[in-house]
């Protein structure tokens, strides 16, 4: 069991936070949620209050006396999901002006995994520069960009394609096996050309159904 910090901001996509918290709990981890005031508003608007069922503690983001404000506390890492462009900028700027930003700053200084899941479109140059800077600082940017090749049937399955990557990068899961199947490649008959033909891919797809 490890302890993880889940930062939730006022970007759209609170379901990513709910599914992350749910899987962290299912895997036996401890979850400290840091939710910004806009985060609480958007989360409620998107009907994701279930998130709090999977949370062990939720210190106020104005409370700098909370445990996660210090590098001496034994947290294994932090994810900010979904991450607004405002919070992304403040993390990169090192402002530490609320507990979420301070906890992210602590993760960077202690060289612990800090995963940030930005949600905005399109990006302006400030957003892109901030993502580059965060990557240079050691943060891991995982955009809320789900994949479709598993042909997910529900929004939860689609969201979990992102959540699986978050958990692997946090170190909370060794492989994505028990959430989404890892890509195993497609075997091409030796006699055929190097790249699979459209016909071959259609056959593989039909078999998977
Ligand atoms: C319904 C709604 C959706 C929003 N979606 C986004 C978004 O996807 N990305 C973003 O950067 N800001 C979004 N915002 C704006 C942020 O909530 C706003 O910039 C806020 O100041 C972010 O504060 P925080 O980073 O402290 O949570 C949204 C606001 C609302 C009301």
Test site for ligand 1: of 6, 8, 9, 11, most ligand atoms within 8 A of the Cβ: 11
- pLDDT of amino acid 131: 98
- pLDDT of amino acid 199: 84
Mean pLDDT of 20-30: 96
- pLDDT of amino acid 195: 82
For residue 39, give the ligand 1 atom closest to its CA. Answer: 27
Q: Whose CA is nearest to atom 26 of ligand 1?
A: 36
Where exactly are the structural domains of the chain? 3-184
Is the Cβ atom of 85 under 6 angstroms away from ligand 1?
Answer: yes
What is 145-181 written as a DSSP string? Answer: ----TT---SHHHHHHHHHHHHHHHHTS-SSSTTTSP
pLDDT tens digit sequence for 129-146: 999 999 999 999 999 999
Q: What is the pTM of this model?
A: 0.93
Which of 91, 117, 86 lies closest to 105, judged by CA?
91
Is 209's pLDDT higher than 70?
no
- pLDDT of amino acid 177: 56
Cα–Cα distance, 207 to 203 (Å, whole number): 6
pLDDT tens digit sequence for 100-129: 999 999 999 999 999 999 999 999 999 999
Q: Whose CA is nearest to atom 25 of ligand 1?
A: 87
Q: Domain 3-184, what architecture?
A: 3-Layer(aba) Sandwich (3.40)
């Amino acid at each position: 069991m490890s302890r993880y910090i889940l930062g939730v901001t006022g970007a759209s996509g609170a379901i990513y936070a709910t599914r992350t918290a749910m899987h962290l709990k299912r895997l036996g981890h401890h979850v400290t949620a840091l939710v910004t005031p806009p985060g609480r508003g958007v989360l409620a608007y998107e009907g994701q209050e279930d998130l709090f069922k999977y949370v062990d503690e939720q210190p106020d983001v104005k409370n700098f006396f909370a445990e996660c404000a210090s590098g001496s506390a034994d947290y294994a890492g932090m994810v900010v999901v979904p991450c607004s462009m405002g919070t992304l900028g403040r993390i990169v700027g090192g402002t530490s002006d609320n507990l979420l930003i301070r906890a992210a700053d602590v993760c960077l200084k202690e060289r612990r995994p800090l995963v940030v899941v930005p949600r905005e479109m399109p990006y302006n140059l400030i957003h892109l520069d901030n993502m580059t800077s965060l990557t240079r600082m050691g943060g891991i940017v995982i955009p809320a960009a789900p994949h479709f090749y598993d042909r997910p049937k529900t929004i939860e399955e689609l969201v979990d394609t992102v959540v699986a990557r978050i958990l692997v990068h946090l170190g909370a899961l060794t492989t994505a096996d028990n959430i989404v199947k890892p890509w195993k490649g497609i075997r091409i008959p030796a006699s055929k050309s190097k790249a699979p033909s459209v016909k071959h891919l259609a056959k593989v797809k039909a078999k998977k159904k």
